[in-house]
Amino acid sequence: MRKRAPLSVYFVAGLLILATVGYVINMARSHLTPVIPIEVVRMGTITAPHTIPAIVIRDERVYYAPRAGRLVFAVGESERVRMGTHVASIQDANEVARILHDMRALEQRGLDIGEMRDAQNDPNVIRINNHIRDQLDTRAQSFTSLNFAELYVLRDNLNHSIDSRNQHIINGSLQAGGDYIHQQAELDAQMVVHSSPIFAQYGGIMTSAIDGLEGDFTIENIPMLTRDQFNSTPDPFPSVPAQYLEANASAFKIVSNVWYIAAYIPNNLIQGASAGQTRYIYVESPITGEYLRMNVRIHQITPGTTDSRVVFRNTRYVIDFMHVRNVNIRMTQRVEEGLVIPNTAITSREYVIVPSTFVHGPKHSVLRYTSGASVTIPVTISEIIGAQTHIMGDLRVGDVLLDGLGERFTVTDTDVHVVQGIFWANYGYARFRPIFTDELITDRAGTTLLDARRNQRSLLEFDNIIVDANMVNEGDLIW
């Protein structure tokens, strides 16, 4: 009689067989390409700012044309000016054109005489020629960026420099100069009569960007601005000055260095804040789209039930924000860590909550009462919480369930809920799993951050999920 092998041998042999089968399956999976794209869930980080729409309030004073005529700037766009600076002039176009024609004729007469001497070696002429070259070099970027306001200023400055150079040539040419000087003085007097200068009454930054809302968006009018005005999309307005203006039309404005940002901010983001405090906020640049870190002072707070209207005072970067009324701000740039998944992996499903006593058997089914008879219906269980079972998509409002003991349960609207989730794919088929989405954080890269602790019953790091939830249904094979 043959001796039976010890049980330990059979046990070891069984383990070897299982290990071999597992190895073969894993090798096969590693060389197979899933029919439906899947992704391995990883821990990661996402910048989690709370973006808030805000409005820009500037201390800006509009200057108006004292007469109808041509607008000529004496300073450049966004140039800082002091009180009393000659900023622009309004000229009578026809009369100024006539006077300029006479001046050119007078200058030409002097220039013709100047040809008989080497005027180009005059130190004053050399200095002005160098100044003209420097002006062209300094504003060369205006030609490529099509900054029309700068181009207009350059044109006027070049005309002024050329006039000065010609004047030196003429003065050097006409040694007696009595007749010429008399005629020049007469033309200058006529120019004064037909040209009205505009001087800055306050110091600040000159800009021709006028949108007509300067009187509405003021620090005094903030309480009267609507929520819609706060929530408007940032839309820069241009700074192309008009060449000809009617009397009393807007010519330009001078903006103070002090400006304000106002926004309705959730109370949880400004706990403990009070007027006079300084803090850092992040403001989206209308030029680059990046968020600039600014040290601002809280000017005023108007408390509300869920949010408060906060006005921040700032003294930097006003030039970057002179062409907008609305901006986006962030109170923080904190970074959150969690499970990073594609936005496309998230979907939603309906589920019905029923008492667990109406769910039968280890394979999960319910007895639905229909037309006087009970019918066994297989169901998909999402989760069981206490005495309640969540059934995914198999029941409808009005269905009557039996527990087998004489009790009935009728599904109503209040029993139907919508849950967001992902399709889990660890075992080669799609299985819907709910996720907690009340604190979802998304970014511009198309990914979402899930709280790893709250979702540990549904999703763990290194789990496989379906990349696009619209491509599958419950139970679909992945390979």
Instruction: Please tell me the predicted confidence (pLDDT) of residue 380.
Output: 84
Rg (CA), the chain: 39
One digit per residue, pLDDT tens: the chain, 479 residues? Answer: 455 556 565 666 667 777 776 666 665 555 555 678 999 999 887 766 678 999 999 999 999 998 888 888 888 888 999 999 999 988 776 666 676 776 677 666 665 555 545 555 666 667 777 777 777 666 665 555 555 556 666 666 767 777 676 666 656 555 444 566 666 666 566 666 667 889 999 899 999 888 888 888 999 999 998 888 888 876 766 666 667 888 899 999 999 999 999 999 988 888 888 899 998 899 998 888 888 889 999 999 999 999 999 999 999 889 889 888 999 998 876 667 888 999 899 998 888 999 999 999 888 899 999 888 889 989 888 788 889 988 887 788 999 999 888 899 999 999 988 888 999 999 888 888 888 875 566 665 678 888 888 888 889 999 999 999 999 988 888 87
Q: Could you say which DSSP state residue 260 is in?
A: E
The residue segments making up the domain with residue 379 are: 39-44+339-471
Does one domain contain both 329 and 425?
A: no
The DSSP H or E segment spanning 255 is strand 250-266
Backbone angles phi, psi at 132, to 5 degrees: -60, -45
Same domain, 269 and 320: yes
Annotate 186-214 with DSSP letters as a single string. Answer: HHHHHHHHTEEEEE-SS-EEEE----S-T
In angstroms, the first-to-last Cα distance of the chain is: 50
C-beta of residue 246 within 8 angstroms of C-beta of residue 68: yes
For residue 11, the SS3 value is helix
Query: Count of residues for the chain?
Result: 479
> For residue 246, how many other CB atoms are within 10 A of its CB?
11
Question: Residues 87, 207: contact at Cβ < 8 Å?
Answer: no
Query: Which 8-state DSSP code applies to residue 254?
Result: E
pLDDT at 41: 92
Specify whether 344 is located in the same domain as 325: no
The verdict on 362 and 467 lying in the same domain is yes
DSSP state of 390: E
In a domain, 74, yes or no: no
What are the C-alpha distances in Å from 61 to residues 210, 299, 392? 10, 21, 64
Three-state DSSP at 402 gives strand
Return the pLDDT at 401.
92
Calpha distance 94→83 (Å, rounded): 31
In this structure, the number of other CB atoms found within 10 A of the CB of residue 425 comes to: 24
Pair 394, 345 in one domain: yes
Please say which residue of 284, 304, 333 terminates a domain. 333
pLDDT value at residue 176: 42
Which among 292, 297, 336, 335 has a CA at the least distance from the CA of 314?
A: 297
**CA 394/CA 424 separation, integer angstroms:** 19
Residue 460 located in a structural domain: yes
Is residue 370 situated within a structural domain?
yes
Q: Which residues are CB-neighbours of 462 under 8 A, at least 6 positions away?
A: 40, 41, 42
Query: Percentage helix, strand, coil, to 5, in the chain?
Result: 30, 35, 35
pLDDT value, residue 85: 93
Contacts of 41 (CB under 8 A, 6+ apart): 339, 340, 341, 459, 460, 461, 462, 463, 464, 465
Q: Which residues contact 96 (CB under 8 A, 6 or more apart)?
A: 69, 70, 191, 194, 195
Residues 163, 218, single domain; the answer is no
> Could you tell me if 253 and 322 lie in one domain?
yes
Say if 296 falls within a structural domain. yes
Last residue of a domain, one of 151, 182, 213: 182
Whether residue 165 is found in the same domain as residue 216: no
Query: What tokens were used for 318?
Result: 């006003």
Please indicate, yes or no, if residue 85 is contained in any of the structural domains: no
In this structure, is residue 86 part of a structural domain?
A: no
The pLDDT score that the predictor gives to residue 183 is 66
User: Is 240 part of any domain?
Assistant: yes
C-beta neighbour count of 5 within 10 angstroms: 9
Domain count, the chain: 3
Largest CA distance in the chain: 147
Pair (251, 313) in one structural domain: yes
Residues 295 and 379 in one domain: no
Residue 52 DSSP symbol: E
Q: Are residues 325 and 359 in the same domain?
A: no
Give DSSP secondary structure letters for 297-325: EEEEEE--SSEEEEEEEE-S-GGGGTT-S
| 465 contacts 425 by C-beta, under 8 angstroms | yes
Burial class of 418 by CB neighbour count within 10 A (0 to 12, 13 to 18, 19+): exposed
Q: Where is the domain boundary, 308, 333, 358?
A: 333
How many Å apart are CA 233 and CA 221, to the nearest integer? 20
Looking at the fold, whether 440 and 355 belong to one and the same domain comes out as: yes
Does a structural domain hold residue 250? Answer: yes
Tokens of 43: 């821990």
DSSP 437-471: -TT-EE-TTSEEEE-TTTTTTT--TT-EEES-GGG
